[in-house]
Amino acid sequence: MSQDTTRAGGNGEREQLVAGIEQSRQDLVRTVRALSAKVDVPTRVRGRAAEMRERTRPALVYGAAGVCAAAALLALSRRKRS
């Protein structure tokens, strides 16, 4: 009896079933990739380190420029005194 019902439904039900299976497969692939990324600690550490370097680099450049400017001003002020 179930075979007759399946055949009676035709291609429409089968296409929906195949589409549902394909969607589930794609969801599973995304989930596995997300979990793989979470457990890949060395890659996450490298990414975080690169992010921190990019974020702190401008501060270091501006800090170094500030130190150079202060040193130049100090040298100029000492020169004027002598």
Q: Per residue in 32-53, pLDDT tens?
A: 999 998 888 888 889 888 888 8
Q: Which domain holds residue 12?
A: 1-39
Is 2 part of a structural domain of the chain?
Answer: yes
C-beta of residue 13 within 8 angstroms of C-beta of residue 6: yes
pLDDT by position in tens, the chain (length 82):
445 445 555 788 999 999 999 999 999 999 999 999 888 888 888 988 888 888 877 777 888 888 999 998 888 888 777 6
Q: What percent of the chain is predicted at pLDDT more than 70?
A: 88
Q: How many domains does the chain have?
A: 1
Compute the Cα dihedral for 61, 63, 65, 68 and give only its sign.
Answer: negative
C-beta of residue 37 within 8 angstroms of C-beta of residue 30: no
Question: How confident is the model at residue 17, as a pLDDT?
Answer: 95
Q: Global pTM? A: 0.44
21 Rama class: left (phi>0) / alpha (psi -120 to 50) / beta: alpha
Is 75 part of a structural domain of the chain?
Answer: no
Is 74 part of a structural domain of the chain?
Answer: no
